[in-house]
Amino acid sequence: MPLERTINRISEFVSERDWSQFHNSKDLALALSIEAAELNELFLWKSTEGADPIKLKEELADIFIYALLLAEKHNLNIEDIILEKLQKNSDKYPINRAKGKSDKYTELI
Amino acid sequence: MPLERTINRISEFVSERDWSQFHNSKDLALALSIEAAELNELFLWKSTEGADPIKLKEELADIFIYALLLAEKHNLNIEDIILEKLQKNSDKYPINRAKGKSDKYTELI
Amino acid sequence: MPLERTINRISEFVSERDWSQFHNSKDLALALSIEAAELNELFLWKSTEGADPIKLKEELADIFIYALLLAEKHNLNIEDIILEKLQKNSDKYPINRAKGKSDKYTELI
Amino acid sequence: MPLERTINRISEFVSERDWSQFHNSKDLALALSIEAAELNELFLWKSTEGADPIKLKEELADIFIYALLLAEKHNLNIEDIILEKLQKNSDKYPINRAKGKSDKYTELI
């Protein structure tokens, strides 16, 4: 299991504060999207690389924390689900049709 | 480096499609928040555990993929940034004041 | 034009601060989604009606402000686009099939 | 009341489908943020004015629909809440300090 020590530290942090009572899947997903918005706010009205690097690191960490809590709750191994999804994305975006194009797969001819 | 094999596979997927030209930090953050919204849509008008488990696994994988691409772009070790952020959160949410409470730290008395 | 006085007041607020230089469509859309996340944060870890009513009013106002700025920038009459979209939604969700169901139209049999 | 006819048509659309049973405030806010993400997706990997104008109009309409449903549920007059919030924003962003700057008010010196 990758990141095992890190996941254990997150679980300990939650458990010490008795917070797992709040951590249903719907609210964890909501928390994740709120952190994603805070990450995006670092770029608002700015250039594509205009975010403060310290804040970027912190917001990204919060996103990983909620994503790992959700994965843990559903007994998902993150390496497995990522590799499986990359395989699925490979089918949706075959190299010969998707190369150099940013179109959504529904729009690739 | 944790997840090294997985990160390499993601980089390979991107590189085969010549997509790194699109992957500026602002758009990667935006992509991440769009995937987070798709994860949340699985719970819309539903109970807290009402999401389809297959789709949940896939949307969560997409979130990890964009989060890892952003971390990689900024040379961030995800274990390091998570542990550092947990330390910061511990200061904002001391156990004796935060235990059993879901309040935002600005509202904890 | 509905809301004309209100839209004029928003334009004046922006103009006085010389902010229209920042208001490209992509960042206005991003700002809108960040405000939507702040609205959602009022419900995080809470019941379905658990938001603070003062804050709800304020976050909702910010959402309307960015949505109106975006509509104005694209010369869209909001009554027209809403009525047109309701017509399209009526086709996607015919009463006899959608009644009492929260399914996405792609899942309605 | 501005937009009265439009709000009545939205209410009728919802009522014909017996959907108000799903429309608690938390899920309406969630729906709004999902539509905001769909609006943002029109700009993903694209320039600041690169969105498809037809889709922009439709996503913006969906955002207005959910925002109006939420306002209606809480008996909020949207002109009143917008004008009130503009007044509050004027205090946070005084013209002499905010002019020509995109900084968040917490960062204005």
Same domain for B65 and B96, yes or no, is: no
User: What is the ipTM score, two decimals?
Assistant: 0.96
Classify residue B15 by burial, with Cβ atoms within 10 Å: 0-12, 13-18, 19+: exposed
Band of residue A1 on the pLDDT scale cut at 50, 70, 90: low
* A41 pLDDT above the threshold of 70: yes
Same domain for C20 and C72, yes or no, is: yes
Same domain for B32 and B68, yes or no, is: yes
Q: Can you say how many angstroms the Cα of residue B4 is from the centroid of all Cα atoms in its chain?
A: 17
d(CA A14, CA C10): 43
pLDDT at A108: 80
Q: Which of B36, B38, B44 sits opposite D27 (nearest CB)?
A: B44
pLDDT at D16: 96
Band of residue B23 on the pLDDT scale cut at 50, 70, 90: very high
Q: Give per-10-residue mean pLDDT for chain D (109 aa).
A: 90 96 98 98 97 98 98 97 97 94 85
Per-residue CA distances from D65 to A32, C64, C83 (Å):
25, 11, 10
Taking residue D20's Cβ as centre, other Cβ atoms within 10 Å add up to 12
Look up the CATH number of the domain holding residue D20. 1.10.287.1080
Chain B CB contacts of A46 below 8 Å: 26
Q: Which residues of A touch C (CB under 8 A)?
A: 22, 27, 30-31, 33-34, 36-38, 40-41, 43-45
Same domain for C54 and C89, yes or no, is: no
Q: What is the mean pLDDT of chain A?
A: 95
Same domain for D89 and D55, yes or no, is: no
Same domain for C40 and C83, yes or no, is: no
Yes or no, beta carbons of A86 and B49 under 8 Å apart: no
Yes or no, beta carbons of D95 and C48 under 8 Å apart: no
Rounded to the nearest angstrom, the minimum Cα separation between B77 and chain D is 25
Q: Which of D33, D45, D46 sits opposite A33 (nearest CB)?
A: D33
Same domain for D43 and D95, yes or no, is: no
Tell me the mean pLDDT in the region A5-18.
96
pLDDT at A107: 84
Minimum Cα–Cα distance from C30: chain B residue = B30
Same domain for D7 and D59, yes or no, is: yes
Residue range(s) defining the domain that contains residue A3? 1-76
With beta carbons less than 8 A apart as the criterion, state whether B81 and A64 touch. Answer: yes
Count Cα neighbours of B109 within 13 Å in the Cβ-side half-sphere. 0
- Interface chains of chain A (3 or more CB pairs under 8 Å): B, C, D
Best probe of the B interface among C45, C47, C52, C106, by most B CBs < 10 A, is: C45
Is D13 or C106 the better-scoring residue by pLDDT? D13
- Interface chains of chain C (3 or more CB pairs under 8 Å): A, B, D
| Overall domain count for chain D | 2
Q: Which of C37, C76, C89 sits opposite D13 (nearest CB)?
A: C89
Model pTM above 0.95 = yes
Band of residue B57 on the pLDDT scale cut at 50, 70, 90: very high
d(CA A85, CA B65): 9
Rounded to the nearest angstrom, the minimum Cα separation between C2 and chain B is 31
Tell me the mean pLDDT in the region C55-80.
98
Same domain for A44 and A1, yes or no, is: yes
Same domain for C21 and C72, yes or no, is: yes
Same domain for A39 and A22, yes or no, is: yes
Band of residue C1 on the pLDDT scale cut at 50, 70, 90: low
